[in-house]
Amino acid sequence: MTVRVYLTAARLAPGPPQAGDLPAERVFLHAAEVPEVWVETESAAVPAPGRAVAFALARPMHLGIERVTGTIERAVSKRTRTRVVDRTPA
């Protein structure tokens, strides 16, 4: 299931993936009056809102960024459009 993870205090960073990074299939930047950054992932390990998270691009794209970090504002199932509270396996 694809989850769209909205981030606050987001940073785009160069460098190789780190242990614990979740895969980012897609990264979106919405440069509006109220800017938004969100990542879409297939990972089942998305933490709860308010937690720090790091993503690494699923494939190298040579854009000068390989990682996205931030704090989870909310996570939404792309298919059902409902909020996902915590998908971290027990």
Provide the residue ranges of all domains of the chain, joining segments of one domain with +: 3-77
Give pLDDT, residue 4. Answer: 96
The pLDDT of residue 80: 74
Confidence of residue 32 (pLDDT cuts 50, 70, 90): very high
Contact 77, 1 (CB under 8 A): yes
Q: How confident is the model at residue 82 (pLDDT cuts 50, 70, 90)?
A: confident
Instruction: Identify the three-state secondary structure at position 81.
Output: coil
Give residue-wise pLDDT tens across range 33-79. Answer: 999 999 999 998 999 999 999 999 999 888 899 999 999 999 998 87
Burial of 59 (0-12, 13-18, 19+ CB in 10 A): exposed
Q: What is the pLDDT of residue 90?
A: 44
Q: What is the mean pLDDT of the chain?
A: 90
